[in-house]
Structure 1
């Protein structure tokens, strides 16, 4: 009996050792790179601003660790270091595959001179941003970024169907709003009741536009009960109600 028990214990000891050595090796990364290499890299991305070559080049040095020792956080960090990459999902699939989903920054507008605003409302900087076409220009204090984006969104709704297009929204340090239209017209809204003032102007704009005055050079809505229009052709004047005392 004793001999049989000893043999069983010895057999179990050998089995556990044989199992434990590879497991220890995997955990320490000693065998992982050679015995369980990453052979396949599967990438899902839009490839609008980031190329497949950039993604593979950023990930390639990490793959030498092998399947078990590969640190997914390191992979994500390497990809997040690429311009235009906003978020990365990474996972390993047995026995030899790394799967990546790369989400790119989607530009919504320019902010100031060098930065871009993503559609998620975050600021980011990339080389060649000045080459992008068709983005509105937004500006203001950095801590009021969300306010400027929200105001721009509301302006787009107000201008819908008016025949006018907003290309710039600026908020001064004093809290005054100014718009620039695609025609080059500047619109001064002031600090208070900016959207109400804009709505009042857009209500009468169809009548002004039907005249022969051309394109306004500037529109000043900082009046209590009216507004002032300066036309590009100084000789042409359109009737616009103005108060004697401009508002803030």
Structure 2
């Protein structure tokens, strides 16, 4: 039998390796191409950011708008905004809106394609701030909001003429407002209303009432001051029922009681007797 013959194709020649210098040049060319592409993208982005074709055409205001009108807010803050939709600095924009009177906090964000949305939170006045250097009755020039923060605003814009006055060292407004909020409900049981709270540089507390009377609370923690107020309110009705005269002054600093001065009642008792208005704890 004739033998079958197998035809073999000649083996393909292996590709020749490129010289090292050629490969380095090709790699360098690829790197240059990538860098050039990135540079073109960066230039395009920079042009886009600075382009006048994406202006902010509208400012949308939401949130608290009781103290300021929309035109007033825009007139105060808009001139401080720089850049287009992409380049405007949102943090700088936030600060610009927070410089508007009565604005406590602003949140600024972009809304495509040309709107700057601003959500505003206004201050809510809780007290007048006299500070420590002001003289009593001289009038307050700043306000304290519901968070205990002192802020600048036109005091004449406040419709509520019954706001209490806080007079104390800088940085103490929050603590003073907190104590007032705890003591006032207690005193309200005697129909007493606090109109002024004073904190000295040495930490001594004093409160003045709408009747003209004054309460000397002294020094101590908030809990100690509240306890003294509770003790006074709990027993003062006995003094009032006995003497039937308006309160002028109460000194609550005593550890075992308190002393009061009543209008028209002498505080100089006969020798050996108990002073009028002196109350001891039992």
Residues of 2 paired with 1:115 and 1:64: CA distance? 31
For the Cα contact (< 8 Å) 2:261–2:277, is it kept in 1?
A: no
User: Does 2:97 correspond to 1:79?
Assistant: yes
Please point out which of 108, 113, 117 is paired with 2:144.
117
- Which residue of structure 1 aligns with residue 11 of structure 2? none
Pair 186,99 (structure 1): closer, same or farther in 2 beyond 3 Å: same
Q: Does 1:88 align with 2:106?
A: yes
Distance change (3 Å), C-alpha of 1:182 and 1:242? same
User: How many residues are aligned here?
Assistant: 223
CA distance in 1, matches of 2:46, 2:238: 82
Structure 1 residue aligned with 2:226 = 195
**1:217 aligned residue:** 248
The match for 2:236 is 205
5+ residue gaps, structure 1? 1-15, 244-248
Is 1:229 paired with 2:260? yes
Q: Is the contact between residue 37 and residue 64 of structure 1 (CA under 8 Å) also seen in structure 2?
A: no
The structure 2 residue matched to 1:25, chosen from 32, 37, 47, is 47
Contact 1:92-1:99 at 8 Å conserved across structures: yes
The residue that corresponds to 2:9 in the other structure is none
Shift of residue 88, structure 1, vs aligned partner: 0.8
CA shift for structure 1 position 211: 5.7
Classify 1:72/1:174 alpha carbon distance in 2 versus 1 (closer, same or farther; 3 Å). Answer: closer
Q: CA deviation at 1:51?
A: 2.3
Partners of 2:193 and 2:77 lie apart in 1 by 43
Bigger CA radius of gyration: 2
1:108 aligns to what SS in structure 2?
strand
2-structure distance, mates of 1:73, 1:40: 18
Structural mapping, 1:129-168, within 5 Å: 133-168=161-196
* SS of corresponding position for 2:190: coil
Shift of 1:75: 1.8
- Segments of 5+ residues of structure 2 without an aligned counterpart are 1-36, 131-139, 270-274
Greater share of helix residues, 1 or 2?
A: 1
Whether 2:263 is the aligned partner of 1:241: answer: no
Question: How far apart, CA to CA, are the structure 2 residues paired with 1:52 and 1:230?
Answer: 54
Range with greater deviation from structure 2 (142-151 or 109-118): 142-151
Tell me the alpha carbon deviations over residues 16-35 of structure 1, each in whole angstroms, 9 at most, x when there is no partner. 89x957544213x0x2x3x2
| Aligned-partner Cα distance in 2 for 1:157–1:94 | 50
> Are the aligned partners of 2:81 and 2:96 in contact in 1 as well (CA < 8 Å)?
no
Cα distance change of structure 1 residues 130 and 235 upon mapping to structure 2, 3 Å threshold: farther
Greater displacement, 126-135 / 229-238: 229-238
Deviation >4 Å, runs of 4+: 19-22, 129-132, 209-212, 234-239
> In structure 2, do the counterparts of structure 1 residues 62 and 83 end up closer, same or farther at CA, with 3 Å as the change threshold?
closer
Pair 1:67-2:94 in alignment: no
Q: Which has the larger displacement, 183-192 or 121-130?
A: 121-130
Secondary structure of the 2:83 match is helix
Partner secondary structure for residue 128 of structure 2: strand
Residues 147/68 of structure 1: CA separation in 2 closer, same or farther (3 Å cut): closer
TM (norm. structure 2) is: 0.67
